[in-house]
Amino acid sequence: MTQFKQALLFTSVWILSPLMFLGVSGCGADATVISLANRDIAALTSDDIVRVMWRAGFSDEQIIEIGTDLRNCLASTGGAKILIGDKADLFLTIGENHGKKVEAMFSVDGDFLHGTSRRRGHFIYNLKTETFR
């Protein structure tokens, strides 16, 4: 092994070790909202966004962090998926999700918002009556 390769390996270990530790310890969770094409759109209120994100199992901090992005996606394209992963996972670009897991998906269908999450399963939210079915 040449001296250049040894130096590169040594530097890589020292730079990536703390990042891998952060990923294992659960620090640095990163959420991303991606628009999905849909026929129907809806401009949800902030109360609607909080209700459906709570129902999907998101924390208050996550709702504050990505609630606006979710609302904008549903108002512009009618569908959204939320990806959750550690920031260290950004080094692993696997497929279109870049190493992150799909935590939830939302889709507008007329007066209803369909939601599916890994933690809480499927639900339907009536946009007019502001109730779950």
Q: Does residue 47 fall inside a structural domain?
A: yes
Instruction: Supply the range of the domain harboring residue 123.
Output: 28-132
For residue 115, what are the CA distances in angstroms to 23, 68, 77? 28, 17, 15
19 assigned to some structural domain: no
Lowest mean pLDDT among 10-19, 60-69, 76-85, 114-123: 10-19
* Tens of pLDDT, residues 47-95: 999 999 999 999 999 999 999 999 999 999 999 999 998 654 444 444 5
Q: What does the DSSP 8-state code read for residue 96?
A: G
Confidence of residue 5 (pLDDT cuts 50, 70, 90): very low
Residue 114: inside a domain, yes or no? yes
The answer to whether position 15 is within a domain reads: no
Determine, yes or no, domain membership for 23: no
Residue 114: how many other CB atoms lie within 10 Å: 16
- For residues 79 and 37, the answer to whether their CB atoms sit within 8 Å is yes
pLDDT at 98 over 80: no
Q: What mean pLDDT is predicted for residues 92-103?
A: 64
Q: Is residue 13 part of a domain?
A: no
Identify whether 3 is part of a domain.
Answer: no
Indicate whether 51 belongs to any domain: yes
Q: What are phi and psi of 99, to 5 degrees?
A: 80, 0
Burial 72-109 (b: 16+ CB within 10 A, else e): ebbeebbbbbbbbbbebbeeeeeeeeeebeebbbbbbe
> Rounded CA gap, 39 and 110, in Å?
9
State how many domains the chain has. Answer: 1
Rounded to an integer, what is the distance from CA 96 to the centroid of its chain? 13
